[in-house]
Structure 1
Amino acid sequence: MSTFPTHRPRRLRQSPAMRRLVAEHTLSASALILPVFVTERAEPQPIATMPGVRQETLDTLPAVVDAAADAGIGGIMLFGVPLTRDATGSGATEPDGILNRAIRVAARASAGRLTVQADLCLDEFTDHGHCGVLDAHGGVDNDATLARYADMALAQAEAGAEILGLSGMMDGQVAAVRAALDAAGRDDVVLLAYSAKYASAFYGPFRDAVESTLVGDRKTYQLDPANAREGVLEATIDIQEGADIVMVKPAGPYLDVLSEVAARSSVPVWAYQVSGEYAMIELAAAAGAIDRDRAIMESVLGIRRAGADAILTYWALEIAARLRSAHPTAPEAHA
C-alpha cells in the first residue's frame, strides 16, 4: 500500500494568481515614506555610500514632492543639511534654517497630497554631532535638550510639518514636545516617536548623507543592540506620554523587536529601513551577489510581515512604481 502525504500545502502555491489569493501580507504605496535630505548648497549632492540617493536643494525639492505624490506614497521625511553648525544647534530653530525652509517648500508643493514630516533632532545642526546639547563634562544633557526639542517642534509646526519625527532618544521627549505644542494651540500636530532606536552600525551611510560631525558614539541614549525588552519599554513609555505613532529603527536587524512592539502597541507602529540596509543591498547587487529587485521587495515585505504599519525606505518611489506596474488598477500589490 502506497503512503501519500496527508497534507499538501503546495496546492496553494501552484500559480501566481493562487499565491496572490492566499498571501498573508501585502505592500501598499500609501504605507511608504521617503526620507529626503535637503542641503543649503546650490546644487544637489550625490551621497557616495548610498548609490542613487542625493542631497536635494530647495529648488529641486518640489519635483521630489511631486514625484512622491504622483506615486501615491504616504509622505516624505525631511532632514536638513546645514553649512554651519554650533554647540546648541541653533539652526534647528531659526525660521530660515535649512530644515524649516525645506518644510515650507515641501508643504507648498504637497498641497495636501501627502504628509510632510520632519526630523526633530539636533544632530544635523550641532558642531559636535550629538543629538542634544552637552553639559560641562561633555555628556548629553537630557533635560536641557528637551527645551531645545520643544522650541524645534514649535518652529517645525509653524513651518508646516504635519508629523514630527522625534528621533533624539532623550527621556521624556514626547511629553515635553506634546506639552509645548498643546500650550501653543497646536494639538493638531502628529508625534512620531523613534521609540526603539538602536545604537547601530547600520547608520554609517546616513552620517555621510547629513555630513555628521560626530566623534564617538551615541550609546548613552540610543538602545543597546543586545536588548529587546528595553525597546518595548521605550515604546510603552512614549505611548503613555502621548505619541501618536511609535517607530523601530533600524528595521531589518530588529524584526523581533518590531514584532513585539506591534503586538503590544495601541497606536500605529512604523519602521525605518535605514541607510546601511539600503547600501548593503545596492552594493551586493552591484557586485552580482544578489538579485537586486527581488531583494528589495523581500526586505520590505519582511518588515511589513513583522508588524510595520508603514515603512520609511529610500526605495519608496521605486517600490510604489513597481506595485503600480504589477497591478495598475489595484491600490495594493504583493511583493
Structure 2
Amino acid sequence: MANPKRYLDRGALRILPLSERDNKVEIERDRVAVDAEPRALSSDAKEAVERAAENIRRARAQSASVILAFGAHTIKNGLAPVLIRLIEQGWVTHLATNGAGIIHDWEFAYQGRSSEDVRRYVAEGQFGIWQETGYYLNLAINVGAFEGLGYGESVGSMVHHQGLRIPDPAELAAKAAESVDKDPLRAAAALDLYAVTTRFALEPGFREIPHPFRQYGLQAAAFRLGVPFTGHPMFGHDIIYTHPMNLGSAIGRTAERDFLSFAASVRNISNGVYLSVGSAVMSPMIFEKSMSMAQNLAMQEGGKIHGHSIYVVDLAESQWDWESSHEPQPSDPAYYLRYCKTFSRMGGQMRYVQADNRDFLLALLQRLS
C-alpha cells in the first residue's frame, strides 16, 4: 500500500476567495479593441502579415484549416476581442492554447480581472490557491469529462450557459452499472463524477455560475459559434491543480479529446495555415505529433499533406534563416529554439516573425476584415 505521507494533502490547504486576490490586468481597461492601431511592425513583419492574410483567404476558399495556437500571454494582453472577431468572421477554424490560457480567459469572463503577482503570493504561500478558480474550473472539467466534452469545450459551455448541470449521484451510479460491460470508459467517467458529487455534497440540478464579463470570454464565444477551442495542459503546470476539486482522470479524458480534435484539424491542413503565436513548447509539440498522424492517414489513402503555411510569431530575435532547407547544427544556440526548429521540420512553408502578439494579430485581423 502506498505511504500517504508521500503525497501532499490538498484538503489541508488554506484556500482564499478569489475576490481577495490583487490582479494586474483588468479586461475592460486593458482589452484590445478590434479597431485599435497596431504599434510599429518591422518591414519583415508587415510583409509576413500580408502574406499570411493572402494564405488564409486562399485556405478558407478551399475549406482548409486555419489553426491559431497561442500562449497565455495572448489572453493576458487583452486580445480576446481580436480573436473573437477572427472566429466570428470565419477566418480561424480552430483555437488552441495551454492550461494557463484557459484559466486567464475564464477569470476575465468570471470577474473581469486576472494575473496575480507570483513573487508576492509564493512568498505568502498563496500563489494559485484561490477558491473560485480551482473549484469552478475543475468542476466544469469533471462534469465535461462525463458529458463527453473536451477541456476547453467544458469551460466554454459553463461560461456560455452561466452554469453547470450537476447529475444526481443515483443517476451516475445507475449509469456506471449499466455501462460497465458495454462501455467501461463511460462507466469509469460516471464513477469519477459520482465520487466528486458525493465528496463535495453537490446538489443535483442546474447550478448557476454567473459570468458578468462573458462577452470577453473567448472559450464561450467559440462554444457559441461551434469553433473548436482546445486546451492542452501539462499536469501540475496550472494553478487549478492546487485545489482538491482537481481530478486527474477528468483532466486526462478532456485533454485527450482535445488533442484528437486538434489532430483532426491538422488532418485538414493541406493548403491551410497554422499560426503559432507566443507558444514555445505546447504548440510545436502537439503539432508535430498531429502532423505525423495526419500524414500517416493521408499516405494510406494515396495522398500527402502539402501546401500548408506555418507562421511562428514570438518576441525573441532569431539570426537563423528558418525558411532555408536546413536547420542549424547542435553547436549553434538556434538549434535549441524549439518553436522554430520543430516547425521547420513540418513540411510546407515555415516563416518566423519577430513581433509582439498584440500587433501581429491586430494587424492580421484588420488586413482580413
Verify same fold: TM over 0.5: no
Question: Which one has the bigger strand percentage?
Answer: 1
Structure with max Cα Rg? 2
Q: Report 1 or 2 for greater relative contact order, CA contacts < 8 Å, sequence distance ≥ 6.
A: 2
TM class by smaller structure: 0.3 to 0.5
Question: Which one has the bigger helix percentage?
Answer: 2
User: TM-score, with normalisation over the residues of structure 2?
Assistant: 0.31
